A and B are shown apart, each in its own frame.
Chain A
Amino acid sequence: MIQREKVYKYIFAGLAFTSLIFLIGITIVLFKEGLPMFKEVGLFEFLGGKYWYPTYEPPDFGILPLILGSFLVTLGALFICVPLGVGSALYINEIATGRQKTILKPLIEILAGIPSIVYGFFGMVVVAPFLQELLGLPVGQTAFTGSLMLGIMATPTVCSISEDALSFVPKSFRYASFATGANRWQTLTKVIIPSAGSGISTAIILGMSRAVGETMTVLMVTGGAAVIPHSIFQPVRTMTATIAAEMGETVLGSNHYHALFAIGLILFLITLIFNIIAELISRRFRIKLGLGR
Chain B
Amino acid sequence: MAENIRIEVKDVNFYYGKKSALQNVSMDIKKNKITAIIGPSGCGKSTLIRLFNRMNELIPNTRLEGRINLDGKNIYSSKIDVVEVRRRIGMVFQKPNPFPKSIFENVAYGLRVNGIKERKYIAAKVEKSLKNAAIWEEVKDRLSDNALGLSGGQQQRLCIARALAVEPEVLLMDEPCSALDPTSTRKIEELILDLKKKYTIVIVTHNMQQAARIADYTAFFMLGDLIEYDVTDKIFTRPSKKVTEDYITGRFG
Bits for B97-109, please: 1 = Cβ < 8 Å to A, else 0. 1111100000001
B97 lies within 8 A of A172 (CB): yes
- B-binding segment of A14-22, A52-60, A181-189, A231-239: A181-189
In this complex, the member of A177, A178, A181 whose beta carbon has the largest number of chain B beta carbons within 10 angstroms is: A181
B100 lies within 8 A of A288 (CB): yes
A176 lies within 8 A of B55 (CB): no
What chain A residues lie within 8 Å of B98 (beta carbons)? 176
A130 within 8 A of B: no
Bits for B66-106, please: 1 = Cβ < 8 Å to A, else 0. 00000000000000000110110011010101111100000
Bits for A146-182, please: 1 = Cβ < 8 Å to B, else 0. 0000000000000000000000001011111111111
A181 lies within 8 A of B55 (CB): no
B163 within 8 A of A: yes
From B86, B114, B165, give the contact of A179 (CB < 8 A). Answer: B86
What chain B residues lie within 8 Å of A186 (beta carbons)? 113
What chain B residues lie within 8 Å of A180 (beta carbons)? 86-87, 90, 109-110, 113, 162-163, 165-166
* Known contacts A170-B97, A191-B99, A290-B148; A178/B55 CB under 8 A: yes
* Known contacts A180-B166, A181-B86; A175/B97 CB under 8 A: yes
Nearest A residue to B92, CB-CB: A179
A289 within 8 A of B: yes
B53 within 8 A of A: yes
B58 within 8 A of A: yes
What chain B residues lie within 8 Å of A182 (beta carbons)? 83, 109-110, 113
B109 lies within 8 A of A190 (CB): yes
A173 lies within 8 A of B163 (CB): no
Q: Within A242-293, which residues are at the interface with B (CB < 8 Å)? A: 288-290
In this complex, the member of A170, A175, A178, A194 whose beta carbon has the largest number of chain B beta carbons within 10 angstroms is: A178
A261 to B148, CA, bound (A): 48
What chain A residues lie within 8 Å of B213 (beta carbons)? none
A177 to B97, CA, bound (A): 10
Could you list 10 further interchain pairs (A-B, Cβ under 8 angstroms) beyond the known A179-B163, A181-B87? A172-B93, A179-B55, A179-B90, A179-B93, A180-B86, A180-B87, A180-B109, A190-B113, A191-B99, A289-B100
Residues of A participating in the B interface, judged by any CB pair closer than 8 Å: 170, 172-183, 186, 190-191, 194-195, 288-290
